[in-house]
């Protein structure tokens, strides 16, 4: 199978999983947000999903045929017996011509997402905990032999219950992080991945097509920056790692940061955006700890500490000289 064919097949599998999860339930606002994020990743995702949805529509119509003149109420999907749920997946697979199965594999998939400025703590069935930062989406897939998490976008902190016979694996940006008894922070910015190891050990490996092959075992204090063609590992003191996790306490910590970088980080948490007018202002250094949603405090720092001009225009705060 060619790489292109394999990728198309995988996209179809993912689309079928989304359709099955939505139709078989339960389905929450967080699930919908995660689906929206997946659809937004590429046109191929949207096309595959629409085709699967059309296939489901044909299948669902078959299930509601009744004897002439006799109309029966249709029960909610989640109330139907297990054998019907399995039959639905068989029908979906048959309608789309896709091999494999969603429920039949024995795995359980769930999706979670946070909006801009949101935060969520998830306790998994194995006792592991995941904390989602602002504008973050993940998909979990647990089976009897494996625990897999896909970080679709954003940032998440993992506290993993280690089980050597049932690996805990996080995939993001063409890379794979495997738990070796660990607490770690992962942030995905497009094709750039940052993994900060807080406790224990974790193995970081490249795992995607077109990604330079590399592998490293991280230990406490290691911070790895990985992209398609490079991997760099640096050491950070405990205080800096603690500062990186400030969002868990509702704050962002800036230490020897440029004003431009601080504004970009602050904007991750707010719909009102900080806009820096020119490059000279962006290069000024800032040290501060601010509540993640307090845009006025950021504006006050710019005005009172740097003597800059602050103006609000709609959903933007413009900082200039």
Q: How far apart are CA 203 and CA 231, in angstroms?
A: 13
Query: What is residue 36's predicted lDDT score, i.e. its pLDDT?
Result: 78
3-state SS class at 260: helix
Classified by CATH at the fold level, domain 250-320 comes out as Phage tail protein beta-alpha-beta fold (3.55.50)
For the chain, the average pLDDT equals: 80
Mean pLDDT on 159-168:
92
Q: How far apart are CA 41 and CA 35, in angstroms?
A: 10
Mean pLDDT check: name the lowest of 28-37, 72-81, 171-180, 271-280: 72-81
Assign 3-class secondary structure to 138-170: EEEEECCCCEEEEEEEEEEEEECCCCCCCCEEE
Taking alpha carbons only, the member of 287, 247, 292 closest to residue 274 is 292
Mean pLDDT on 144-160:
94
Q: What does the CA dihedral 46, 52, 58, 62 come to, rounded to 10 degrees? A: -140
Q: How far apart are CA 35 and CA 172, in angstroms?
A: 16
Quote the radius of gyration of the chain (alpha carbons, Å): 23
DSSP state of 192: E
E strand map for 207-245: 215-218, 222-226, 231-235
Q: Which of residues 6 and 248 earns the better pLDDT score? A: 248
Taking alpha carbons only, the member of 149, 86, 165, 84 closest to residue 112 is 149
Alpha helices in 202-288 (DSSP H): 238-244, 259-267, 279-282
Classified by CATH at the fold level, domain 108-243 comes out as Jelly Rolls (2.60.120)
Same fold across 108-243 and 250-320: no
3-state SS class at 287: strand
pLDDT per residue as tens digits for the range 231-240: 999 999 999 9
- Percentages helix, strand, coil for the chain, rounded to the nearest 5? 35, 35, 30
Q: How do strand 108-113 and strand 137-142 relate by DSSP bridges?
A: antiparallel
Q: How far apart are CA 74 and CA 181, in angstroms?
A: 47
Query: What is residue 245's predicted lDDT score, i.e. its pLDDT?
Result: 94
- Bridge partners of 289, per DSSP, are 253
Query: What is residue 57's predicted lDDT score, i.e. its pLDDT?
Result: 46
pLDDT per residue as tens digits for the range 230-266: 899 999 999 999 999 999 999 999 988 999 999 999 9
Handedness of CA 249, 251, 257, 262 (dihedral sign): positive
Domain residue limits, the chain: 1-105, 108-243, 250-320
- Bridge partners of 253, per DSSP, are 289
Q: How far apart are CA 11 and CA 29, in angstroms?
A: 23
Mean pLDDT on 205-229:
87
Work out the percent of the chain whose per-residue pLDDT is above 90.
50
Query: What is residue 136's predicted lDDT score, i.e. its pLDDT?
Result: 96
Q: Which of residues 51 and 156 earns the better pLDDT score? A: 156
The token duo for 97 is: 């011509």
User: 């909006």: which residue's tokens?
Assistant: 115
Element (H, E) at 120: strand 120-123
Query: What is residue 80's predicted lDDT score, i.e. its pLDDT?
Result: 43
pLDDT per residue as tens digits for the range 271-318: 999 999 888 899 999 989 999 999 999 999 999 988 999 999 899 999
Query: What is residue 83's predicted lDDT score, i.e. its pLDDT?
Result: 43
Is the predicted pLDDT of residue 74 greater than 50, yes or no? no
Query: What is residue 147's predicted lDDT score, i.e. its pLDDT?
Result: 94
């Amino acid at each position: 199978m060619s790489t292109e064919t394999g990728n198309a097949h995988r996209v179809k599998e993912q689309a079928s999983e989304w359709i099955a999860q939505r139709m078989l339930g339960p389905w929450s606002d967080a699930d919908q947000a995660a689906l929206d994020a997946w659809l937004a990743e590429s046109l191929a995702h949207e096309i595959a999903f629409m085709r699967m949805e059309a296939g489901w529509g044909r299948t669902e119509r078959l299930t509601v045929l009744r004897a002439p003149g006799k109309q029966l109420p249709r029960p909610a999907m989640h109330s139907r017996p297990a054998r019907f749920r399995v039959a639905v997946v068989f029908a979906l697979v048959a309608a789309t011509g896709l091999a494999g199965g969603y429920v039949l594999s024995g795995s359980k998939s769930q999706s979670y997402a946070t909006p801009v400025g949101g935060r969520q703590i998830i306790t998994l069935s194995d006792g592991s905990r995941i904390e989602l930062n602002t504008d973050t989406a993940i998909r979990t897939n647990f089976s009897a032999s494996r625990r897999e998490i896909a970080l679709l976008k954003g940032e998440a902190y993992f506290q993993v219950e280690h089980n050597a016979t049932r690996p805990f694996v996080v995939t993001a940006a063409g890379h794979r992080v495997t738990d070796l008894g660990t607490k770690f922070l992962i942030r995905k910015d497009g094709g750039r991945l940052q993994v900060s190891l807080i406790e224990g050990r974790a193995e970081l490996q490249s795992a995607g097509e077109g990604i330079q092959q590399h592998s490293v075992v991280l230990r406490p204090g290691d911070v790895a920056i990985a992209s398609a063609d490079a991997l760099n590992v640096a050491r950070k003191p405990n205080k800096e790692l603690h500062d990186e996790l400030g969002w868990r306490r509702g704050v962002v910590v800036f230490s020897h940061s440029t004003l431009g970088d601080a504004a970009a980080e602050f904007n991750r948490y707010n719909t009102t955006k900080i806009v820096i007018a020119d490059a000279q202002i962006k290069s000024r250094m800032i040290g501060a700890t601010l509540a993640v949603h307090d845009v006025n405090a950021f504006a006050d720092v710019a005005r009172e500490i740097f003597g800059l001009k602050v103006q609000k225009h709609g959903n933007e705060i413009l900082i200039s000289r």
